Amino acid sequence: MATVQTPAAAPAAPAASAPSTAPPQTSSNGANGNRPKRPNPNPNSSSNRNWKQKKTKREKNITEGSSEEVLRHDIEALLASRKSETSGEEATTTTTDAQEEATEEETLPAEGTETEVEVLELSSTGDGLAMRPGSDQVYVVPFTVPGDVARVKVFRHLRREKQTVADFVSVVKPSPLRDDARIQCKYFASCGGCQFQMLDYAEQLRRKRAIVDKAFRNFANLPAELVPAVLDTVGSPLQYGYRTKLTPHFDGPPGFRPHRQELQGVENLPPYTVRAESEFGIDIKTCETDSKATTHEYIRDHHFTNPAGSFFQNNNSILPIFTDYIKQHVLPPASPSSSSSSSSSSPSSEIKYLIDAYSGSGLFTITLASVFQHSTGIDIAADSIASARQNAALNGLGEDRCKFIAADAGQLFKSVEYNPDQTTVILDPPRKGCDADFLGQLRRFGPRRVVYVSCNVHTQARDVGVLVRGEGDGRRYEIESLRGFDFFPQTGHVEGVAVLNRVEE
């Protein structure tokens, strides 16, 4: 039984009344004037020229790869493409200094007023990028898709960035891509958790492939020939009702604190329960509000327990597909010549060991243990290591098959005695990605193969670029494949998997 978890202070009933599709991190989307945590604009102040979109709590420690930087790249690309389209006309037009100055001081709609814009592109943040006729100001509008003509409410102009932050009001003329009959959540466009419910799911997956592609073009700092074509995004079996953990951003009534026994012992489906069907069976997701309670997750034949408040992947419907893919790619593909000779000489047979960096509660260490002679999970969090050891025992794995180490961040590979020529390393860092010190340690250890899993494909692209360029001490790598997984349907979020091989020099 999978478990939906909510904070103790939050009322559970509203959270379970509609499927939740909010991603682990959202841009500052909102609608009808409901954008959260914005400073009150002062129309008479010039300080708005220096205003920047606030980073979410999860992004405060992210430099490269933040939503703000991703959005900036997408706006610059749109402006460059528009300039290229009109360059022929500009070449035959004489522009005076006065005209240029007038263009720079373009009159924009007053903040707080409404205007109509045409949506030209989707940002990797999930926001529509729109413009008004004859203007080079880009309006960032949530809940829109290319081809929409939308009515928006202007929130803030950022003239230096040629960017206007706006709230979605209504669709004046729908795009051929838009079908509002697809929307299944009554909170869509008032909750900022998802952006794509009006899009066909196949189109969502195509957009997410483009997000991965742009991430590596904008953040990897690599020549195009070193980056392979991004493979098609793998879809989620459940496109609604898939979440196993959520955090409602509202307070319950004074003194409200539901008790676990109130949610149990009811025939059929108890209150605060969601029933979800997929190709892997039926999930009954019940609400757990105690962050210290034990929750259970099942991935094929593997069983995991975790404290409810700890991290575990939030879409268990895709986890069997996802872990199967990692298992299929954790070893190098067998060369054609090895198929007719002894398997002991194939590249895959030469790898015997796994290091699961950022191992958490042991998802990859445990699901991949059957592939390797021995595996080691490493994490700096002692409580995660304790959970991983419990999960290993729960799945019948002793220390002769895998072990877990709570390591100091600066010496993550110190306690590992594996031969790097026979080792694969799996990385699954937080959204900020890997820091320079860790990447240096990894390159100096020099494993034969690296599988990098990431919930932020932009910081992943940055880090993969470091491994491929191979500057300074340590080994360098080449990219074998790039692919996205749709852990959060209806949102602009995509999980990335990059497979790399050590360059033999």
- Report the 10 Å Cβ neighbour count for 223: 9
Amino acid at 437: D
Look at strands 449-454 and 114-122 and give their pairing: unpaired
Domain end among 138, 162, 197: 197
Considering the domain boundaries, does residue 252 fall inside one? Answer: no
DSSP assignment, residue 239? S
State the pLDDT at residue 58.
47
Predicted TM-score of the model (pTM): 0.80
Final residue of a structural domain among 137, 169, 197: 197
229 and 123 within one domain? no
Percent of the chain with pLDDT over 70: 74
Ligand-binding site membership of 251 (annotated): no
Catalytic, 455? Answer yes
CATH code of residue 129: 2.40.50.140
Domain harbouring 446, CATH code: 3.40.50.150
Confirm if 479 and 228 have CB atoms less than 8 A apart: yes
Say if residue 190 is in the same domain as residue 324: no
Residue 10 lies in a domain: no
The band of 500, judged by pLDDT with boundaries at 50, 70 and 90, is very high
464, pLDDT greater than 70: yes
DSSP alpha helix (H) spans, 305-456: 319-329, 347-350, 363-367, 382-394, 436-445
Helix axes 201-219, 457-469, angle to 10 degrees: 40
Q: Out of 173-177, 333-337, 391-395, which region has the weakest mean confidence (pLDDT)?
A: 333-337
| Residue 127 annotated as lining a ligand binding site | no
Are residue 185 and residue 319 in the same domain, yes or no? no
Q: How many C-alpha atoms does 69 have within 13 Å on its Cβ side? A: 16
Q: Is 456 helix (H, G, I), strand (E, B) or coil?
A: coil
Co-location of 410 and 320 in the same domain: yes
Q: Are residues 212 and 174 in the same domain?
A: no
Q: Tell me, yes or no, whether 213 and 189 share the same domain.
A: no
Number of domains in the chain: 2
Q: Are residues 388 and 474 in the same domain?
A: yes
Do 316 and 442 lie in one domain? The reply is: yes
What's the confidence (pLDDT) of residue 407?
A: 82
Kindly state whether residues 413 and 361 are assigned to the same domain: yes
The DSSP 8-state label assigned to residue 175 in this structure reads -
Cβ atoms of 148 and 126 closer than 8 Å = no
Section 22-37 average pLDDT: 35
* 26 belongs to a structural domain: no
270 CB-contact burial (10 Å; exposed 0-12 / middle 13-18 / buried 19+) = middle
Q: Does the annotation flag 313 for ligand binding? A: yes
Q: Which helix (H) or strand (E) holds 306?
A: strand 302-307
Q: Is residue 300 part of a domain?
A: no
Amino acid in the structure at residue 207: R
Of residues 185, 194, 434, 455, which has the active-site annotation?
455
Q: Kindly write down the DSSP assignment for every residue of 12-56, as one continuous string.
A: HHHHHSS-----SS--S--BTT--TTPPPP-TT-GGGGG--PPPP
Whether residue 41 lies inside any domain: the answer is: no
- Beta-sheet pairing, 423-427 with 273-278: unpaired
Closest CA to 314 of 452, 495, 191: 495
Tell me whether residue 232 is annotated as binding: no
- The answer to the question of residue 339 being in a domain is no
Note whether 152 and 224 are same-domain residues: no
Q: What is the pLDDT of residue 495?
A: 97
User: Exposed e or buried b for every residue in 409-441, given b needs 16+ CB within 10 A?
Assistant: eeebbeebebebeebbbbbbbbbbbbeeebbeb
Q: Could you report the per-residue pLDDT of 210-244, keeping only the tens digit for each?
A: 999 999 999 999 999 999 999 999 999 999 888 88
Q: How confident is the model at residue 165 (pLDDT cuts 50, 70, 90)?
A: very high
pLDDT at position 66 is 85
Same domain? 444 vs 358: yes
Q: Mind listing the pLDDT tens digit for each residue in 403-453?
A: 999 887 678 888 888 999 999 999 999 999 999 999 999 999 999 999 999
216 and 318 belong to one structural domain: yes
CB 423 within 8 A of CB 355: yes
Q: Would residue 480 count as lying in a domain?
A: yes
On whether residue 426 sits in a domain, the answer given is: yes
CB 481 within 8 A of CB 471: no
Of 197, 224, 258, which one is at a domain's C-terminal end? 197
CB atoms within 10 A of CB 317: 25
Q: Which domain holds residue 186?
A: 113-197
Burial 323-350 (b: 16+ CB within 10 A, else e): bebbeebbbbeeeeebeeeeeeebebee
